[in-house]
Structure 1
Amino acid sequence: MMLRVDDLTLARGGVPVLTGLSLALVPGQALILRGPNGAGKTTLLRSIAGLQPPLSGRIEGAQDRVAYAAHADGLKAMLSVTENLAFWARIFGTSDITPALDAFDLHGLADRLAGTLSAGQKRRLGLARLLVTGRPLWVLDEPTISLDTGAVALFAAALRAHLARGGAALIATHIDLGIEAQVLDITPFRASAATRAGASDEAFL
């Protein structure tokens, strides 16, 4: 088992947003999260990535397996494309950045400062960081923002290769990536209005 989430209750700003949510991921599997804006997809991904604790429930298997990519690209503007990837490779104890450059067609931009890239180019570089982490569980929040059709195809190919190597991915996205994946709609797990109101009242006690 790559990841198991049991009976999770999550809050945003002290207010419960999801309750009773369970899911599981095995090697080679992708799971797509769906639900309206504000439903709690980002809160769930941040909790699995270890950035915020759940109110209750259990998350097993994440720990040091997770590579997390959200709306921020996590780039150092005054470093080049290769220097950014090399920096993250050192952080995660890896060395070869060539597969990342290949996967996201970054060789032509290798010497450009990250701060001079377009939004789409920055996004490609941000996603390329996933490949230098060496981590098997990708937790991704709207990874295709700012990407054109060709770049989305590059990302989908990198994702398929990751799954084929035995990796797994949990992805919040509204677009069809053209990959084989299960879909989890989190709408049924949204906290009730009464629960949210009770938590809001308690915040002022």
Structure 2
Amino acid sequence: MSMLSVEGLAVSRGGLPVLENLSFSLDAGHALVLRGPNGVGKTTLLRTLAGLQPSLAGTVSMPPESMAYAAHSDGLKSTLTVRENLGFWASVYATNDIEPALERMNLQSLETRPAHSLSAGQKRRLGLARLLVTGRPIWVLDEPTVSLDTASVALFAEAVRGHLAGGGAALIATHIDLGLNEASVLDLTPFKAKTPEEGGMQGAFDEAFL
């Protein structure tokens, strides 16, 4: 069953089209890994899907309130403890049990530590643990393994496998092989937008000044 459907999508960065004519679907129980060189538009695409910026064209279809988005920021309150941070996010998403998230991301021994005292890798693990308390079936992740050591990458990959096994789905921009048998790869390079001189779309920013 398709949880996320994208048809003819075009997205822009700084008023300039970066991707166009992009179509794909994401089914329950599956992950889709985005690949492509730096600057191709992976982050721009994910921000557009998350509703943080408008698209230039195309449609995005998914059930309402179904997406959890994790970008480069860990989204932590520095003065709150690990447990308090997860409790805060659980209250935002109206979920209750944070214990599985603490266990899955190996945070039990750190639960009384304030976030500002954590290492970069520990903060990242806590930021990713937020996904486990959202209750959202679609995870959209932008380079989620930044600052993680090998053991923590394995923890995260196992968390994704558990999410998929429970009927969830994940869209992940990463250069790391997470070893997910449930994942397919989408190379964004063929969807790189042409410049206006090459017959491509005119950016919304440019159109405002024409």
Distance across 2 between alignment mates of 1:63 and 1:20: 24
- Per-residue Cα deviation, 1:150-181 (whole angstroms, up to 9, x for no partner): 00000000000000000000000001001121
Distance across 2 between alignment mates of 1:201 and 1:93: 42
Counterpart for residue 119 of structure 2: 118
Do 2:163 and 2:169's aligned partners in 1 also have CA atoms closer than 8 Å?
yes
Counterpart for residue 187 of structure 1: 189
Residues 62 and 41 of structure 1, relative CA distance in 2, 3 Å threshold? farther
Aligned-pair identity (%): 63
Structure 2 length normalisation: TM-score?
Answer: 0.94
Distance across 1 between alignment mates of 2:106 and 2:73: 20
- Regions of 4+ moved over 2 Å: 193-205
Cα offset, 1:71, TM superposition: 0.5
Distance across 2 between alignment mates of 1:184 and 1:39: 12
- Per-residue Cα deviation, 1:56-110 (whole angstroms, up to 9, x for no partner): 1000005411000010000000000000000000000001000000000000000
Counterpart for residue 133 of structure 1: 134
Cα offset, 1:50, TM superposition: 1.1
> Which stretches in structure 1 are left out of the alignment for 5+ residues?
none
Structure 1 length normalisation: TM-score?
Answer: 0.96
The amino acid across from 1:7 in the alignment is G
Residues 36 and 62 of structure 1, relative CA distance in 2, 3 Å threshold? farther
Do 2:11 and 2:20's aligned partners in 1 also have CA atoms closer than 8 Å?
yes
Matched, 1:98 2:94: no
SS at match of 1:23: strand
Distance across 1 between alignment mates of 2:20 and 2:206: 18
Do 1:41 and 1:172's aligned partners in 2 also have CA atoms closer than 8 Å?
yes
Do 1:30 and 1:170's aligned partners in 2 also have CA atoms closer than 8 Å?
yes
The amino acid across from 2:151 in the alignment is G
Do 1:15 and 1:196's aligned partners in 2 also have CA atoms closer than 8 Å?
no
Q: CA RMSD in A?
A: 1.5
Could you say which structure has the higher helix fraction? 1
The amino acid across from 1:36 in the alignment is P
Q: How many residues align?
A: 205
